[in-house]
A and B are shown apart, each in its own frame.
Chain A
Amino acid sequence: DTAVSQTPKYLVTQMGNDKSIKCEQNLGHDTMYWYKQDSKKFLKIMFSYNNKELIINETVPNRFSPKSPDKAHLNLHINSLELGDSAVYFCASSLSGSSRNIQYFGAGTRLSVL
Protein backbone atom coordinates (compact mmCIF):
# COMPACT_ATOMS: atom_id res chain seq x y z
CA ASP A 1 0.00 0.00 0.00
CA THR A 2 1.38 3.38 -1.01
CA ALA A 3 1.60 5.72 1.99
CA VAL A 4 1.55 9.02 0.08
CA SER A 5 0.21 8.84 -3.44
CA GLN A 6 0.15 11.56 -6.07
CA THR A 7 -1.59 11.58 -9.38
CA PRO A 8 -0.67 11.95 -12.13
CA LYS A 9 3.02 11.02 -12.21
CA TYR A 10 3.55 12.91 -15.44
CA LEU A 11 1.67 15.90 -16.77
CA VAL A 12 2.37 17.53 -20.12
CA THR A 13 0.29 20.54 -21.03
CA GLN A 14 0.23 23.77 -23.00
CA MET A 15 0.85 27.24 -21.63
CA GLY A 16 -2.28 28.91 -20.39
CA ASN A 17 -4.05 25.70 -19.39
CA ASP A 18 -5.36 24.89 -15.90
CA LYS A 19 -4.34 21.63 -14.27
CA SER A 20 -4.64 19.85 -10.93
CA ILE A 21 -2.42 17.42 -9.05
CA LYS A 22 -3.98 15.21 -6.41
CA CYS A 23 -2.40 13.89 -3.24
CA GLU A 24 -3.66 11.40 -0.70
CA GLN A 25 -2.03 9.90 2.38
CA ASN A 26 -3.19 6.85 4.34
CA LEU A 27 -0.82 7.29 7.28
CA GLY A 28 -3.25 9.09 9.57
CA HIS A 29 -1.08 12.23 9.43
CA ASP A 30 -2.53 15.66 10.16
CA THR A 31 -0.11 17.81 8.17
CA MET A 32 0.44 17.83 4.41
CA TYR A 33 2.81 19.79 2.21
CA TRP A 34 3.51 20.73 -1.38
CA TYR A 35 7.08 21.22 -2.58
CA LYS A 36 8.45 22.31 -5.93
CA GLN A 37 11.74 20.84 -7.14
CA ASP A 38 13.36 22.75 -9.98
CA SER A 39 15.83 21.54 -12.59
CA LYS A 40 18.72 22.12 -10.17
CA LYS A 41 17.02 19.81 -7.67
CA PHE A 42 16.33 22.59 -5.16
CA LEU A 43 13.36 21.68 -2.96
CA LYS A 44 11.18 24.64 -2.17
CA ILE A 45 8.20 24.52 0.22
CA MET A 46 5.07 25.97 -1.29
CA PHE A 47 2.23 25.20 1.10
CA SER A 48 1.50 23.33 4.29
CA TYR A 49 -1.86 22.37 5.76
CA ASN A 50 -2.51 21.16 9.29
CA ASN A 51 -5.94 19.65 9.94
CA LYS A 52 -7.21 21.21 6.71
CA GLU A 53 -5.98 24.68 7.70
CA LEU A 54 -3.33 26.55 5.75
CA ILE A 55 -0.29 27.13 7.98
CA ILE A 56 2.48 27.81 5.49
CA ASN A 57 2.03 29.83 2.35
CA GLU A 58 5.36 30.77 0.88
CA THR A 59 5.76 33.36 -1.84
CA VAL A 60 3.98 31.52 -4.58
CA PRO A 61 2.00 33.08 -7.46
CA ASN A 62 -1.70 33.15 -6.70
CA ARG A 63 -2.20 30.99 -9.79
CA PHE A 64 -1.38 28.14 -7.40
CA SER A 65 -4.25 27.23 -5.11
CA PRO A 66 -4.11 24.31 -2.69
CA LYS A 67 -7.27 22.67 -1.49
CA SER A 68 -7.62 20.28 1.43
CA PRO A 69 -11.06 18.64 1.55
CA ASP A 70 -9.98 16.54 4.53
CA LYS A 71 -6.86 15.66 6.50
CA ALA A 72 -5.95 12.85 4.12
CA HIS A 73 -6.03 14.92 0.93
CA LEU A 74 -4.22 17.99 -0.33
CA ASN A 75 -4.71 18.89 -3.97
CA LEU A 76 -2.86 21.53 -5.96
CA HIS A 77 -4.61 23.48 -8.68
CA ILE A 78 -2.62 25.62 -11.07
CA ASN A 79 -4.25 28.23 -13.30
CA SER A 80 -2.84 29.76 -16.47
CA LEU A 81 0.24 27.57 -16.58
CA GLU A 82 3.53 29.19 -17.55
CA LEU A 83 6.79 27.75 -18.87
CA GLY A 84 8.46 28.45 -15.51
CA ASP A 85 6.01 26.16 -13.76
CA SER A 86 7.75 23.16 -15.31
CA ALA A 87 9.20 21.20 -12.40
CA VAL A 88 8.65 18.16 -10.23
CA TYR A 89 6.02 18.71 -7.55
CA PHE A 90 6.15 16.63 -4.39
CA CYS A 91 3.44 16.06 -1.87
CA ALA A 92 4.46 15.05 1.65
CA SER A 93 2.84 14.40 5.02
CA SER A 94 3.83 14.24 8.66
CA LEU A 95 2.27 13.88 12.12
CA SER A 96 2.64 17.04 14.17
CA GLY A 97 3.79 16.65 17.76
CA SER A 98 4.99 13.15 17.06
CA SER A 99 8.23 12.06 18.64
CA ARG A 100 9.17 10.49 15.35
CA ASN A 101 8.29 13.61 13.32
CA ILE A 102 9.18 12.12 9.96
CA GLN A 103 8.05 13.54 6.66
CA TYR A 104 6.93 11.03 4.04
CA PHE A 105 6.94 11.92 0.37
CA GLY A 106 4.91 10.95 -2.64
CA ALA A 107 6.66 9.85 -5.83
CA GLY A 108 6.40 13.29 -7.38
CA THR A 109 4.58 14.70 -10.40
CA ARG A 110 6.71 15.86 -13.30
CA LEU A 111 4.94 18.82 -14.89
CA SER A 112 6.07 19.92 -18.34
CA VAL A 113 4.59 23.10 -19.75
CA LEU A 114 5.07 23.51 -23.50
Chain B
Amino acid sequence: AQTVTQSQPEMSVQEAETVTLSCTYDTSESNYYLFWYKQPPSRQMILVIRQEAYKQQNATENRFSVNFQKAAKSFSLKISDSQLGDTAMYFCALNSPTGNQFYFGTGTSLTVIP
Protein backbone atom coordinates (compact mmCIF):
# COMPACT_ATOMS: atom_id res chain seq x y z
CA ALA B 1 0.00 0.00 0.00
CA GLN B 2 1.13 3.52 -0.72
CA THR B 3 0.44 6.25 1.80
CA VAL B 4 1.29 9.91 2.26
CA THR B 5 1.29 11.56 5.69
CA GLN B 6 1.29 15.26 6.50
CA SER B 7 1.49 15.66 10.26
CA GLN B 8 1.01 19.44 10.40
CA PRO B 9 -2.65 20.37 9.84
CA GLU B 10 -1.93 24.10 10.23
CA MET B 11 1.11 26.33 10.16
CA SER B 12 1.80 30.03 10.10
CA VAL B 13 4.81 32.12 9.16
CA GLN B 14 5.68 35.79 9.17
CA GLU B 15 6.00 37.47 5.82
CA ALA B 16 9.56 37.25 4.44
CA GLU B 17 10.45 34.39 6.79
CA THR B 18 11.16 30.76 5.87
CA VAL B 19 8.85 27.86 6.63
CA THR B 20 9.15 24.10 6.15
CA LEU B 21 6.20 21.78 5.58
CA SER B 22 6.68 18.10 6.40
CA CYS B 23 5.64 15.06 4.40
CA THR B 24 6.45 11.39 4.84
CA TYR B 25 5.37 8.59 2.56
CA ASP B 26 5.44 4.86 2.20
CA THR B 27 5.80 2.87 -0.99
CA SER B 28 7.30 -0.42 -2.10
CA GLU B 29 8.06 0.95 -5.56
CA SER B 30 11.65 1.66 -6.51
CA ASN B 31 10.77 4.40 -8.94
CA TYR B 32 8.18 7.03 -8.14
CA TYR B 33 7.44 10.73 -8.23
CA LEU B 34 6.68 13.16 -5.43
CA PHE B 35 4.79 16.42 -5.72
CA TRP B 36 3.72 19.41 -3.75
CA TYR B 37 0.47 21.05 -4.81
CA LYS B 38 -0.85 24.37 -3.58
CA GLN B 39 -4.55 25.14 -3.20
CA PRO B 40 -5.21 28.85 -2.52
CA PRO B 41 -8.65 30.13 -1.47
CA SER B 42 -9.59 30.20 -5.15
CA ARG B 43 -9.51 26.35 -4.75
CA GLN B 44 -7.50 25.80 -7.94
CA MET B 45 -4.91 23.04 -7.44
CA ILE B 46 -1.53 24.30 -8.62
CA LEU B 47 1.63 22.24 -8.98
CA VAL B 48 4.42 23.80 -6.92
CA ILE B 49 7.30 21.40 -7.33
CA ARG B 50 8.07 17.86 -8.48
CA GLN B 51 10.80 15.37 -7.54
CA GLU B 52 11.80 12.15 -9.28
CA ALA B 53 12.84 9.51 -6.77
CA TYR B 54 15.85 8.35 -8.79
CA LYS B 55 17.33 11.85 -8.73
CA GLN B 56 19.35 12.59 -5.63
CA GLN B 57 19.46 16.32 -6.24
CA ASN B 58 16.70 18.22 -4.47
CA ALA B 59 14.28 20.02 -6.77
CA THR B 60 14.09 23.82 -6.63
CA GLU B 61 11.62 26.27 -8.13
CA ASN B 62 12.42 29.89 -7.26
CA ARG B 63 11.52 30.34 -3.56
CA PHE B 64 10.36 26.73 -3.23
CA SER B 65 12.73 23.86 -2.58
CA VAL B 66 12.44 20.34 -1.23
CA ASN B 67 14.49 18.22 1.12
CA PHE B 68 14.16 14.72 -0.28
CA GLN B 69 15.42 11.99 2.04
CA LYS B 70 14.78 8.74 0.17
CA ALA B 71 15.95 6.36 2.89
CA ALA B 72 13.80 8.10 5.47
CA LYS B 73 10.92 8.45 2.98
CA SER B 74 10.65 12.11 3.75
CA PHE B 75 9.82 14.93 1.33
CA SER B 76 9.59 18.33 3.01
CA LEU B 77 8.85 21.64 1.29
CA LYS B 78 10.75 24.79 2.18
CA ILE B 79 9.30 28.16 1.28
CA SER B 80 11.78 31.01 1.50
CA ASP B 81 10.91 34.71 1.73
CA SER B 82 7.25 33.88 2.38
CA GLN B 83 4.73 36.10 0.64
CA LEU B 84 1.08 36.78 1.41
CA GLY B 85 0.16 34.96 -1.80
CA ASP B 86 1.66 31.78 -0.37
CA THR B 87 -1.30 31.50 2.00
CA ALA B 88 -2.94 28.25 0.89
CA MET B 89 -3.49 24.59 1.58
CA TYR B 90 -0.47 22.52 0.59
CA PHE B 91 -0.78 18.88 -0.43
CA CYS B 92 2.01 16.37 -0.73
CA ALA B 93 1.41 13.64 -3.33
CA LEU B 94 3.02 10.41 -4.52
CA ASN B 95 2.74 8.67 -7.89
CA SER B 96 4.36 5.54 -9.22
CA PRO B 97 4.73 5.09 -12.99
CA THR B 98 3.42 1.54 -12.82
CA GLY B 99 0.01 2.78 -11.77
CA ASN B 100 -1.99 5.82 -12.69
CA GLN B 101 -3.04 6.66 -9.16
CA PHE B 102 -1.85 9.66 -7.24
CA TYR B 103 -1.86 9.43 -3.43
CA PHE B 104 -2.44 12.65 -1.53
CA GLY B 105 -1.73 13.65 2.05
CA THR B 106 -4.36 15.35 4.20
CA GLY B 107 -2.88 18.77 3.58
CA THR B 108 -1.25 21.56 5.60
CA SER B 109 -2.99 24.91 5.83
CA LEU B 110 -0.35 27.63 5.68
CA THR B 111 -1.07 31.22 6.68
CA VAL B 112 1.42 33.98 5.94
CA ILE B 113 1.08 36.77 8.46
CA PRO B 114 1.80 40.35 7.36
| Residue ranges of A at the interface with B (Cβ–Cβ < 8 Å) | 31, 33, 40-43, 45, 48, 50, 55-56, 88, 90, 92, 94, 96-97, 99-105, 107-108, 110
| B97 close to A97 (CB less than 8 A) | yes
| Residue B56, interface by CB 8 Å | no
Instruction: List chain B residues, Cβ under 8 A from A101.
Output: 33, 95, 97
Contacts A56-B101, A101-B97 given; does A88 touch B47 at CB 8 Å: no
| A88 close to B43 (CB less than 8 A) | yes
Q: How far is the CB of B66 from chain A (nearest CB, A)?
A: 15
Interface residues on B, range: 20 to 34
Interface of B is mostly: strand
Assembled-state Cα–Cα distance A77/B109 (Å): 31
List the count of A-B residue pairs having beta carbons below 8 Å apart: 54
Contacts A43-B91, A101-B33 given; does A107 touch B97 at CB 8 Å: no
Contacts A101-B33, A105-B44, A107-B43 given; does A45 touch B101 at CB 8 Å: yes
| Residue ranges of B at the interface with A (Cβ–Cβ < 8 Å) | 33, 35, 37, 39, 42-45, 47, 50, 52, 89, 91, 93, 95, 97, 100-102, 104, 106-107, 109
